[in-house]
Amino acid sequence: MDNNYFLQYNKISVYIIAILISIFFILGHLLIGGILLLLYAFFITYNVKMFKAKKNEWRKFLEDFSSKLDISSRSVLVNSPFALAITGNKGNIMWYNQGFLKIFEKEEVLGKNIEEIIEEVNIDEIISKEKKVFKRVSIKDKYYNIFININNKPSTRDKAIILYFYDVTEEVKLAGEIEENKYSIMHIEVDNLSDVLKTTVEDNAVILAAEIERTIKNYAQGLKAMIVKYSSSKYVVVVHYRNIEEEMQKNFDILDEIREINFGNKLAVTLSIGVGCDGDTPIQNHELAISAKELALSRGGDQVVVKTKDKLQFYGGKTKEFEKRTKVRARVIAHALVNLINESSNIFIMGHVNPDIDALGAAIGLRSIVKALGKEVHVVLDKANSGIENPIERIKENNLYKEIFISKENCIKTCDRNSLLILVDVNSKEYVQDKELLDIIGRVVIVDHHRKSTTAVEGTLLSYIEPYASSTCELVTEMLQYMIESPKQHIIPIEAEMLLAGIYVDTKNFYFKTGVRTFEAAAYLRQLGADIIDVKKMFAGHLETYLKKAEIMSLAEVKNDIAITLCPPDIKDNVLAAQVADELLNITGVQASFVLVKIEDEVFISGRSFGDINVQVILETLGGGGHMTIAGTKLKNVSIDEAKEKLQDAIDKYLREGEE
């Protein structure tokens, strides 16, 4: 407001009166005009004076009110039911009330920096206005929401920061109790009940079955859970999440307890358990549990998989896998695959990064089947690595290379919306030979013998993952008998030899992971014309290769029956590293071996064992996978020494858990 306020807001009236007075003067009525002019001047003067008086009264009222407000504000700050503290813009505590003092149990905090006594508070975030509240801050066994208010001090650049502490301890405790009391769903399946009972004397079989059921129900009772048996070997359990957390701490010792049951059974009893947690609804936890159990089964059983909406955790999986697949499943999968092939315009077959002979043999075997079905088919391969050089040379000698293989670029040009991509010897999207093809070709089938990975390709039309098989070539050999009529007319000897070579290598000359079905597949391939001598010749090595192997083996360190060796910097061949891992098992006293090789910015680790030490569990903690006796992984952006240190930590953890 100013002295011209009256004139400013009454301009129209003033102008009208002034014009009227002027008219009187113009018309010659000087006396009347003069009187009106005097009255007009008096009117203006009077109103200006009255406005000034009102203005002074208003100013005084505001000053009195502000004074009273400051007193009131100070009273509110001092007597506030909330704990308060005021700091400078550096965080130093300048003032606090009794509530704040009580929080810190009368500890002297004046002058201290707020960040020193409350770690969660960050002054920089407050000043930049990134943070207006710090939620659930733990102070002296209580929890507070800290609200922030910033006041600029007059005529200075300093800021006064007011912190309001609102006690939310009860809220946090209640949320914790709700979280602890959330229900989780657990699905339990006895992996091999029928097979175990078959190997048990009839009189003991009934007792054994009853003991298995009693052990599982006692376990559920110990968890204070509800349990329902819905088939001869399957149970569903509803349990509080807090009890699941306790089981996770104990690594689900039910796996060991059930394995120790013995009533003359020749096979150990094992469980596959899927746990669904953190779902928004009970049905979501049920779906998570079903998915987790399927993953446990696909990884070989005898383990627990705990699945939340965004995380997977694995426990157990330390026993040898027991073959429980059937030829019925192989026949069903074979017929389903034939239908998919017939519905597709063309078919492409692809293995994993740096394909080995199992991937190559399976791909060539499937290619021969698809060709016999009258469909256009190619195996995707850009470059042969050292592990498959000899088999590729055999293919070239038979003038089949151009007919069988296709480059990635030509594959992209040839494929269409109705193309089918068959992945062999791999199920993880991180290890496929080419991720781009996986994205381009949406219709995908998987045929693999590795345990299902946490990064497994999703949305497949058909997934045939059998961790009990010795090799992917074994799976393909079984399927081809059901996929085409008169296989002898369609499979030429070199194709049969490639399949046999895959089995030969993955079983380490038929002494690893072999079963009756493995020898049946090998015998069938012999009938198709595979020559074991020609297969053996495929793996004849050069003298230079043997010398490199000897050099790497000479650097091995053996501790706790585990051999670890690093490839020299000039050796950059992960296939050679895998071969050395196999050779190290021939050394007396070595139960498991690990070979590390650095290629560009990645360190590849190959693990092998006789089965007493589970290399798959060890390398899975480093992001890898495979089988109990054969596994691998790769670490990015680490030195080979750092990779060795991480591997040693994983081994130590595995050994500690085995002792508990």
Annotated binding site for Mn(2+), which residues? 352, 356, 358, 425, 449, 506
How many Cα neighbours within 13 Å face the side chain of 62? 6
Neighbours of 336 (CB within 10 A): 14
Whether the CB-CB separation of 316 and 251 falls below 8 Å is answered with: yes
Which letter does DSSP use for residue 234 in this model?
A: E
Which letter does DSSP use for residue 113 in this model?
A: B
Q: Give the helix ranges, DSSP H, for 299-383.
A: 327-343, 357-372
Q: Which of 390, 400, 397, 385 is nearest to 352 (CA)?
A: 385
The Cα–Cα gap between 410 and 380 comes to 9
The Cα–Cα gap between 524 and 530 comes to 9
Bridge partners, 313 (sequence order):
306
Copy the structure tokens of residue 179.
């979280």
Q: Which of 587, 596, 606, 582 is nearest to 645 (CA)?
A: 596
The Cα–Cα gap between 269 and 191 comes to 7
Whether the CB-CB separation of 271 and 196 falls below 8 Å is answered with: no
Whether the CB-CB separation of 84 and 76 falls below 8 Å is answered with: no
The Cα–Cα gap between 40 and 148 comes to 58
Q: Which of 563, 623, 574 is nearest to 598 (CA)?
A: 574
- Cα angle: 86, vertex 89, 90; to 5 degrees: 105
Q: Give the helix ranges, DSSP H, for 27-122.
A: 30-79, 98-103, 114-117
Task: List C-alpha distances in Å: 651 to 401, 574, 582.
Answer: 43, 21, 18
H-helix or E-strand spanning residue 635: strand 630-636
Q: Which of 461, 436, 235, 450 is nearest to 343 (CA)?
A: 461
Binding residues: 352, 356, 358, 425, 449, 506
**DSSP-assigned states of every residue in 428-490:** BTTSBS-HHHHHH---EEEEE-SPPPTTB--S-SEEEE-TTSS-HHHHHHHHHHHHSS-GGGT
Bridge partners, 589 (sequence order):
none
Sheet bearing 405-406, strands edge to edge: 405-406, 376-380, 346-350, 420-424, 444-448, 462-465
Q: How far is CA 452 from the centre of its chain?
A: 14
Whether the CB-CB separation of 433 and 363 falls below 8 Å is answered with: no
Copy the structure tokens of residue 191.
């992996």
> For residue 449, which amino acid is it?
H
Whether the CB-CB separation of 125 and 108 falls below 8 Å is answered with: no
Q: What are phi and psi of 577, to 5 degrees?
A: -60, -40
Task: List C-alpha distances in Å: 613 to 177, 317, 619, 626.
Answer: 40, 11, 12, 13
